[in-house]
Every structure is written in structure tokens, then in C-alpha cells.
A = this chain, B = another copy of it.
Amino acid sequence: MSILVVGSVAFDSISTPHGTVDRCLGGAATHFALAASFFTQVRVIGVVGEDFTSEQEAVFQARGIDIQGIERTAGKCFHWTGEYLENLNEAHTLRTDLNVFERFQPKIPEAYRDSEFLFLANIDPVLQQQVRKQMPKVRMVCGDTMNYWITGHRENLLGVLQGLDALLINDGEAKLLAGETNLVQAAKRIMEMGPKTLIVKQGEYGATAFFGDNSFSMHVKNRFFHAPALPLAEVVDPTGAGDSFAGGFFGYLASQPQVTPSVFKRAMFYGGVMGSFAVERFGTERIRQLTREEIDQRFAAFRELSHLDAE
């Protein structure tokens, strides 16, 4: 089944303890789409400027991603400049140039209308809402957001949350959104805001899903599920890890005939797998070179990581 993703397609200039790259292809929709493309058909809604050339196009095309929904306009692509210091869990934004993103009005091509899965990547909740409303019959909607929208655009964000099957955010964002320091309490409060399920991305500690009363995985024991993270000897660039997690998670879900608890749990593990590959090189470099065989091997390693044999 097809996934429609709306979000940023951008250039990133990144500095980490492992080096520096200037204007590499990035953006939440890019990372999400590349990761999800290993599992299902992906369609992208976004906007780019004249600096988006056949070189960037080829990255999507090589993975069979449909980019007819990426609007070309005068000006330059969204450009993020950031750095990571010793603590690779924390990105420091040095500069954000919205450029063509400033006047972005998402339009959905006719050929995208039958998409059954919708991912609202981290952008202005007003735009997330616009896309959501144009896709009333979608089977499942997941979304992401960040501190900037949580603190400064809360009302708009609350409107988006109401329509979500699952919200995927990180630990700090969940606590900020809920105004709680305990994650279980925060999850409870957030699910009262709308999302049936909350998935908390915890970086090097994996990800935890919390299931609400109307969750599509409500029959999971415990009301939560944890996908561990593989200890990595080297993290080159964390940029896009969360979006790659979301792509692996949602891509696998969309590839399955039904969203059962068992499928949901596997999707969480595939999310972890894609996130763990993303950080091995700068930008999209590692995921672009990835094979399905490598994904399956790492999935097996993730599974073994916390697996107890039957008694």
C-alpha cells in the first residue's frame, strides 16, 4: 500500500565530531521516504528551489520514490545548518533558511489521492492540517513535530493531534508537550489530546510505544512496547535518524495486509534498524547504499539483542 509523506526536502550543512559536510541532501520527508522505500511505494509532497537538480532527483528515483508531488519553484531549497558536539543526542541549530518553504502551500496530485497511509513529517501544523483535510479517507495517519511548534504554535498543533493514529516524537518533546517529567504520565496526557498511540523515540536507547484505549494495538499486553537500539561503535551523523526510524516503522506497517499487534511490534524493530543505519554516515549516504539483505541481517541482530529463549 502507498504512503504519502509531506515534509521538508532540504539541504543540510552538518558538523559532527566525525567531520563536516556542506549542503548534502536532507530534510524530514527525504529521510522518511528513503527508509520507507525499502518496504513499500512512497509518494512525496514538498517544495524545492532551483538548486534541486537532477543529482538530487536521482537519489529518489534510484529508490523508486514518486516525486511528482514535489513542487519546483523559483528560489532556493530549505537549508539547515547545525552541529553536534560530544553529546550526539543533541543537535544545535546554527542557522535555518526557510527559503522556498516560507510560501509553501501543499497540493496533492490526483495520482496520490488513493494513498492509504499518510505521514505528516515535522513541519508547520497548519500545513500538516491542510494535507490531512485533503486526504479524508486515508486508512492510517502518523505524524511528527518538534519543540518549536509545541511551544509557539500549540493550538494549531492540537488540531493535528486530534486526527492522528500515532504521534512519533522524542523523549524531550513528549515531556514538553505534556508538561510532565515522567514519561508514562506524559504519554497518558498526550493520548488524551488525540493520538491513539504515542511512539517515543529515545535515540541510542531505542523507542517505546504507548497504547491508548482506542489504539490499533490495544491488545498488546502491558499497554506499551519497547524496541531496543543496537549499541553502535561509531555514530557519524545523527541527522535524520528519527525520520529514518519513522520511515522504517511506517513503511513496514504499510507493507502488511493488516496492522496486528505482532505487525506493529515488528514495525518498531524495523524503525530501529533503519535509524541505526542512518547514523553510520553523513546525510542520506548510508541508506542510499543499503540492501534489503543488510536490513534483514540487522533485524535479526536487533531481535537477538533482548530476546529470551523459551524456558
Contacts and interface: CB of A to CB of B under 8 A. Distances in A.
A183 B301 contact: no
A301 B221 contact: yes
A269 B308 contact: yes
A262 interface: yes
Given A205-B202, A301-B221, A235 B308 contact: no
23 contacts: A86-B181, A182-B233, A184-B231, A187-B231, A202-B205, A205-B205, A205-B206, A208-B231, A210-B231, A221-B301, A221-B304, A222-B301, A224-B231, A224-B305, A225-B305, A226-B231, A227-B306, A228-B228, A265-B307, A265-B309, A303-B308, A306-B306, A307-B307
A159 to B, nearest CB: 28
Interface of A: 86, 181-185, 187-188, 202, 204-206, 208, 210, 221-222, 224-228, 230-235, 262, 265-266, 269, 301, 303-309
Nearest to A183: B231
Secondary structure call for the A interface? mixed
A304 B222 contact: yes
A34 to B, nearest CB: 25
Contacts of A228: 206, 226, 228, 306
Contacts of A232: 182, 184
Given A181-B86, A205-B202, A305 B226 contact: yes
A221 B300 CA distance: 10
Contacts of A226: 228, 231, 305-306
A230 to B, nearest CB: 8
Contacts of A309: 262, 265
